[in-house]
């Protein structure tokens, strides 16, 4: 590379030196990448670039972490480029010439200072991955709908307040990441993305559940957590292939019974809402393995919860339970149960049915003792009993109920060690 720099003003000599190297070596490819960064500028001769690209036939440039407020327009001469990494370059503007890279398949523009994209971005009809994370983009150009080959659009952490209706033309889009933006709604055309499997809208300002999303029959993962959604439409049941649904940190007060039609659901996350009742139909979600209901207003659960035979994780912390629901004791695949900060006064002896239980957390209740049957829970390795009404004299006998390997906590920071007694 030092040799190349010594001939920086003599482009013909540079080309001769490059030609003399072993082009296929990885070390040489790294030097060529550096050469691009050093020699390509607004004043670089087109002929030099064309000769350089003919020698190298480069398909990938990683221009990451090269500080500069602009990208040279000469980038258009790299017509064979398939991968272009411009992340962390402090770019403020993307030149129109970017649209002339007709063979481009992956474009990474993450961690820059971009406010917008040029309309010519729509010319990249072979582009399959577009990464825009951590910029200041306020809107996407309508021409983005021309990216017919796009599979992955990642636009997290921007300032998007709306999406163009043309986004519905991305007929091959499979994953759409839009978390941490300012979206308050979605265009109706979002329902046309029939190949979409993953949609992330975490931490936006969405007021109501976008019913158009329910047309996405191939959707497997939907994250609408940290929004302002107060209710779910009946059409939620049309998402028959949904595996993961995250609606935590919203304003939900109930769930429609139609959610039971999402029979492939394995994870349902509803933490920190205002839910007071669960529909009995929730018992039809027989494939569910993880159910998060922390920080709601539940005081009971339907008996049909006992039908969730595959449930492994259940969190009912920070609710209004005064009685431990007996139905939980029929969930024989449960390995983690969290019931913190309720008003429980006792735990039924039937808890011994949960033979696969490994973690039990019931701190912040009104428990005085535990049933001796908990000694049958041989797999337990963590029990949290902090902030209950258990007396000091009863702690040794309670600790003795659990396996020696099990960490038992009676105080917020201290593990109770039986052997120290």
Task: List the one residue out of 66, 110, 118 whose CA is nearest residue 93.
Answer: 118
User: Residue ranges of the domains in the chain?
Assistant: 1-55, 59-229
pLDDT digits (tens, 9 = 90+) for 301-334: 999 999 999 999 999 999 999 999 999 999 999 9
Return the structure tokens found at 296: 């709601």
pLDDT at residue 226 greater than cutoff 80: yes
Environment class of 12 (CB within 10 Å of its CB; exposed 0-12, middle 13-18, buried 19+): exposed
Instruction: Tell how strand 313-315 and strand 290-292 pair up.
Output: parallel
Strand partners of residue 130: 107, 153
Sign of the dihedral through C-alpha 196, 123, 89, 48: positive
H-helix or E-strand spanning residue 384: strand 382-384
Provide mean pLDDT across the span 164-174: 98
pLDDT at residue 51 greater than cutoff 60: no
Return the structure tokens found at 274: 């205002």
Strand partners of residue 222: 199, 245
Say how many CA atoms lie within 13 Å of 371 toward its Cβ.
Answer: 14
DSSP string, 338-356: E--SS------GGGGG-TT
CB 223 within 8 A of CB 201: yes
Specify the pLDDT at position 62: 78
Specify the pLDDT at position 140: 98
Name the pLDDT band for 78 (thresholds 50, 70, 90).
confident
Helices first, then strands: H and E counts in the chain? 5, 17
d(Cα 240, Cα 242) in Å, to the nearest integer? Answer: 6
Strand partners of residue 415: 409
- Helices 11-20, 46-56: inter-axial angle, 10-degree rounding: 0
Specify the pLDDT at position 412: 62
Name the pLDDT band for 417 (thresholds 50, 70, 90).
very low
The answer for residues whose C-beta is within 8 angstroms of residue 320's C-beta and 6 or more apart is 297, 298, 299, 342, 343
Name the pLDDT band for 63 (thresholds 50, 70, 90).
confident
Q: Name residue, tokens 């957390």.
A: 361
Task: List the one residue out of 59, 122, 103 whose CA is nearest residue 85.
Answer: 59
CA angle, residues 296, 300, 303, in degrees to nearest 5: 130
CB 117 within 8 A of CB 144: yes
Name the pLDDT band for 47 (thresholds 50, 70, 90).
low
H-helix or E-strand spanning residue 52: helix 46-56
First-residue to last-residue Cα distance in the chain: 70
SS3 415: strand
- If you classify domain 59-229 with CATH, what class do you get? alpha beta
Give the number of other Cβ atoms within 10 Å of residue 235's Cβ.
16
pLDDT at residue 5 greater than cutoff 90: no
- Per-residue H/E/C for 216-276: CCCCCEEECCCCCCCCCCHHHHHCCCCCEEECCCCCCCCCCHHHHHCCCCCEEECCCCCCC
3-state helix, strand, coil in the chain (%, to 5): 30, 10, 60
Return the structure tokens found at 127: 């582009």
Return the structure tokens found at 185: 């709604």
H-helix or E-strand spanning residue 152: strand 152-154
Provide mean pLDDT across the span 241-247: 99
The answer for residues whose C-beta is within 8 angstroms of residue 220's C-beta and 6 or more apart is 197, 198, 241, 242, 243, 244
DSSP string, 53-97: HHHH---EEE-TT---SB--GGGGG-TT-SEEE-TTS---B--GG
d(Cα 262, Cα 243) in Å, to the nearest integer? Answer: 8
Strand partners of residue 223: 200, 246
pTM over 0.85: yes
Strand partners of residue 351: none
pLDDT at residue 297 greater than cutoff 50: yes
């Amino acid at each position: 590379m030092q040799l190349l720099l010594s001939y920086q003003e003599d482009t013909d000599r540079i080309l001769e030196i490059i030609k003399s190297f072993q082009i296929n070596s990885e070390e040489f490819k790294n030097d060529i990448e550096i050469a691009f960064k050093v020699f390509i500028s607004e004043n670089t001769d087109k002929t030099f670039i064309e000769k350089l690209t003919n020698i190298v036939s480069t398909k990938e440039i990683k221009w990451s972490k090269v500080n500069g407020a602009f990208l040279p327009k000469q980038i258009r001469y790299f017509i064979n480029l398939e991968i272009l990494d411009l992340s962390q370059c402090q770019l403020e503007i993307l030149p129109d010439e970017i649209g002339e890279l007709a063979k481009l398949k992956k474009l990474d523009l993450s961690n820059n200072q971009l406010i917008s994209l040029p309309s010519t971005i729509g010319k990249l009809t072979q582009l399959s991955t577009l990464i825009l994370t951590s910029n200041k983009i306020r809107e996407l150009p309508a021409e983005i709908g021309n990216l017919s080959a796009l599979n992955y659009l990642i636009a997290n952490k921007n300032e998007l307040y709306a999406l163009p209706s043309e986004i519905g033309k991305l007929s091959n889009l499979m994953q759409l990441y839009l978390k941490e933006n300012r979206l308050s709604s979605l265009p109706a055309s979002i329902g046309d993305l029939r190949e979409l499997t993953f949609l992330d809208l975490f931490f936006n300002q969405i007021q109501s559940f976008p019913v158009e999303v329910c047309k996405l029959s191939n959707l497997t993962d939907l994250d609408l957590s940290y929004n302002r959604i107060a209710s779910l439409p009946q059409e939620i049941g049309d998402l028959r292939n949904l595996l993961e649904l995250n609606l935590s940190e919203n304003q939900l007060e109930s769930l429609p019974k139609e959610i039971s039609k999402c029979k492939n659901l394995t994870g349902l996350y509803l933490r920190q809402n205002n839910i007071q009742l669960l529909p009995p139909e929730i018992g039809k979600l027989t494939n569910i393995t993880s159910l998060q209901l922390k920080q709601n207003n539940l005081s009971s659960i339907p008996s049909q919860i006992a039908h969730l035979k595959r449930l492994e994780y259940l969190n009912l912390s920070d609710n209004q339970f005064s009685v431990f629901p007996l139905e939980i004791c029929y969930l024989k695949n449960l390995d983690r149960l969290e019931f913190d900060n309720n008003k429980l006064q006792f735990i039924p002896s039937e808890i011994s049915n949960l033979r696969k239980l490994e973690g039990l957390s019931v701190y912040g209740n009104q428990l005085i003792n535990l049933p001796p049957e908990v000694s049958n829970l041989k797999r337990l390795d963590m029990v949290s009993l902090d902030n209950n009404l258990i007396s000091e004299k009863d702690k040794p006998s309670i600790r003795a109920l659990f396996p020696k390997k099990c960490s038992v906590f009676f105080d917020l920071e201290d593990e109770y060690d039986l052997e120290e007694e």
